[in-house]
Amino acid sequence: MKHIELYDTTLRDGAQSEDISFSVEDKLRITEKLDELGVHYIEGGFPGANPRDAEFFSKARKLKLKSSKLVAFGSTHHASNRVQDDLNIKSLLNAKTSIVTIFGKTWDFHVKEALRIPLSQNLDLIHNSVAYLKKRIPKVFFDAEHFFDGYKANPEYAVKVLRAAQDAGADCLVLCDTNGGTLPQEVEKIIKVLLNQHSGLRTPIGIHAHNDADCAVANSVAAVELGASQVQGTINGLGERCGNANLVSVIPNLKLKLKYDVITNSKLKKLKEVSRFITEIANIRHFKRQPFVGDSAFAHKGGVHVSAVLRHPETYEHIRPELVGNYERVLVSDLGGRSNIIKKIKEFNLKVDPDSPKVAQIVKEMKELESQGFQFEGAEASLELLIKKTFGLHRKFFVLAGFRLIVEKRKEGEDPLSEATIMLKAGGKLEHTAATGNGPVNALDNALRKALEKFYPQLKQVRLIDYKVRVLTAGAGTTAKVRVLIESGDDKHKWGTVGVSENIIEASYQALVDSIEYKLLRG
């Protein structure tokens, strides 16, 4: 069984999507989730391009990754610099990853018009950069930017570019369809010629496809069938313009359809979870009809389909949905959910009976909550609390008597002042306190914890790491229902909680209370 390496570039190429902006904390959380999925390489970003990516690599070194290796991405050295003096090359070394990927121009049109240097000098830039890095870093991948367009325009020069990287010691030559307009039959024809002729290429090849012609997944699968051993892409196909090859489709196609060794069966079952986690962190809507992991991917609605599927699922399903962490749905009476809850009970190490009727009660309640706008991907602490409440493993740590928020802006040009006053009962005593913050939610968080810390000093360890708001009812304007996702953490753990309401403060309060109760239940 041939082994295929998965190279994820969600944190770099995916972050270039319109409407996507990942904070450093977002990127760290996504890195840990991709590691759980088992991808082999995680491209963390372009450390020479912005301080955020440099900060990410600094913090990511502390992550305890089990399956994945971090990769720093950058370009060849600038034509006006010596390789050892180039700031981009220095930033790649400063990222302190064991693998780097650099890209270079493969299309002669770009060399002449974008770089405005002789074609031979471009070959020197590539060779010098790869060779310099290879002497200092164990693995260097070369992204042959615009390879397919370059090959179609000038095949001799495109092959010379690959040879320059190979001769310098590159560990993989990644063929990039950067403009995303190449069709599968063109990919097949070019790779066959490239590998079958006396091109002198002996280095493993990879594929990096963009989706502008809606062929990125097909092109990636075709390249693997023709000999590529590395596939680059993003979760959910995020990426510039129309996106990159969607690894959520590439992975099951390679593993289940073509029987390649990519990730284990147990990790494959996390596919839907990882897909939805990243849409929540990216603060975008889940695509219901996404192949393999969408809510509608295995949904059946009445008539012949339903009766056939209930007898033999394979009549209208191309794989068993459980293989990718999804489940079959009959829309008139949703059958999914129970197995997912049992799985979570095991993950949370809860000592409860998975055959209890209360599991069905949790499924029912989750469906009601989801119909209101709740989502528990990225907010598993709230899900754990829901399960514990149903099984009687939860206890109330305080009772709210009320809170009030004041936001005051005293004059033009000054930031508003936010103050929260809260009254609650804990430990048999009524506590009344106030706190300020840099916004109403921060003020409420500060006041809530200030009131509780004398009863529960362990809350002093908790910090609010991230806060996201998602508008759920498009077109409703300022009356729209919102979902608030909060990430909290202490010195050892991080956890996510969720709240939903037409009132953003109420939704925030729900998520804040879940965060506090989760911490107190953990001790």
Q: Is residue 487 in a domain? A: yes
List the single range of 168-182, 195-209, 445-459 with lowest mean pLDDT.
195-209
> How high is the pLDDT of residue 343?
77
- What's the mean pLDDT when you consider all of the chain? 93
> How high is the pLDDT of residue 336?
55
Are residues 404 and 259 part of one domain?
no
- CA distance linking residue 46 with residue 441, whole number of Å: 33
Percent of the chain with pLDDT over 70: 95
> How high is the pLDDT of residue 333?
44
Burial of 151 (0-12, 13-18, 19+ CB in 10 A): buried
Pairing between β-strand 482-489 and β-strand 463-471 as defined by DSSP bridges: antiparallel
Q: Which residues fall within 8 angstroms of residue 79, CB to CB, at 6 or more apart?
A: 115, 117, 121, 125
pTM of the model: 0.81
CB 119 within 8 A of CB 126: no
3-state secondary structure 387-403: HHHHCCCCCCCCEEEEE
Averaged pLDDT, 227-255: 98
CATH number at residue 231: 3.20.20.70
- CA distance linking residue 366 with residue 358, whole number of Å: 12
> How high is the pLDDT of residue 33?
98
At 198, is the pLDDT very low, low, confident or very high (cuts 50, 70, 90)? low
Q: Angle of helix 216-226 relative to helix 184-196, nearest 10 degrees?
A: 20
- CA distance linking residue 149 with residue 282, whole number of Å: 31
217, 247, 263 — which closes off a domain? 263
Question: Using DSSP, how many helices (H) and how many strands (E) does the chain show?
Answer: 18, 16
pLDDT tens digit string along 321-367?
999 999 887 654 445 567 778 878 888 999 999 889 999 999 899 88
Give the number of other CB atoms < 10 A from CB of residue 503: 11
Q: Is residue 271 in a domain? A: no
Instruction: Read off the amino acid at residue 432.
Output: H
- CA distance linking residue 81 with residue 72, whole number of Å: 20
Which has more pLDDT, 214 or 307? 214
At 303, is the pLDDT very low, low, confident or very high (cuts 50, 70, 90)? low
Q: Which residues fall within 8 angstroms of residue 22, CB to CB, at 6 or more apart?
A: 11, 15, 30, 281, 282
> How high is the pLDDT of residue 150?
98
Pairing between β-strand 41-45 and β-strand 494-501 as defined by DSSP bridges: unpaired
Q: Is the pLDDT of residue 302 over 70?
A: no
> How high is the pLDDT of residue 367?
85
- CA distance linking residue 25 with residue 466, whole number of Å: 7
Chain mean position to CA 125 = 33
Averaged pLDDT, 124-130: 98
> How high is the pLDDT of residue 334?
46
For the chain, state the CA radius of gyration.
26
Q: Is residue 317 in a domain? A: no
CA distances from 516 to 361, 372, 376, 382, 487 (A): 25, 23, 17, 11, 11
Q: Is residue 323 in a domain? A: no
Q: Is the pLDDT of residue 91 over 90?
A: yes
- CA distance linking residue 274 with residue 192, whole number of Å: 34
Burial of 320 (0-12, 13-18, 19+ CB in 10 A): middle
> How high is the pLDDT of residue 320?
95
CA distances from 81 to 108, 129, 169, 298 (A): 21, 11, 21, 55
List the single range of 121-135, 198-212, 220-234 with lowest mean pLDDT.
198-212
At 440, is the pLDDT very low, low, confident or very high (cuts 50, 70, 90)? very high
pLDDT tens digit string along 306-326?
667 767 788 889 999 999 999
Averaged pLDDT, 51-61: 95
DSSP string covering 245-291: -BHHHHHHIIIIIS--BSS-HHHHTTHHHHHHHHHHHHT----TT-T
Instruction: Read off the amino acid at residue 255.
Output: K
208, 231, 263 — which closes off a domain? 263
Domain region containing 509: 399-522
Q: Is residue 273 in a domain? A: no
Q: Is the pLDDT of residue 454 over 60?
A: yes
List the single range of 5-9, 447-451, 471-475 with lowest mean pLDDT.
471-475
* Closest among 120, 205, 98 to 128, alpha carbons compared: 120
Averaged pLDDT, 15-21: 94
Q: Is the pLDDT of residue 192 over 50?
A: yes
Token pair 């990882």 in the structure block, residue: 274
Averaged pLDDT, 446-453: 94
Give the number of other CB atoms < 10 A from CB of residue 80: 8
CA angle 327, 331, 332 (to 5 degrees): 135
List the single range of 44-53, 91-100, 184-193 with lowest mean pLDDT.
44-53
CATH number at residue 408: 3.30.160.270
List the single range of 49-63, 134-148, 193-207, 491-505 with lowest mean pLDDT.
193-207
List the single range of 33-42, 146-155, 190-199, 327-336 with lowest mean pLDDT.
327-336
> How high is the pLDDT of residue 339?
73
> How high is the pLDDT of residue 396?
92
The phi-psi region of residue 224 (left if phi > 0; otherwise alpha if psi is between -120 and 50; otherwise beta) is: alpha
Please count the structural domains in the chain: 2
DSSP string covering 7-52: EE-TTTTGGGSTT----HHHHHHHHHHHHHHT-SEEEEE-TTT-HH
Are residues 213 and 64 part of one domain?
yes
Q: Is residue 251 in a domain? A: yes
> How high is the pLDDT of residue 215?
98
Q: Which residues fall within 8 angstroms of residue 50, CB to CB, at 6 or more apart?
A: none
pLDDT tens digit string along 34-49?
999 999 999 999 998 8
Q: Is residue 355 in a domain? A: no
> How high is the pLDDT of residue 196?
83
263, 289, 306 — which closes off a domain? 263
Give the helix/strand (H/E) hosting 303.
Answer: helix 303-311
Give the number of other CB atoms < 10 A from CB of residue 437: 18
Averaged pLDDT, 244-267: 98
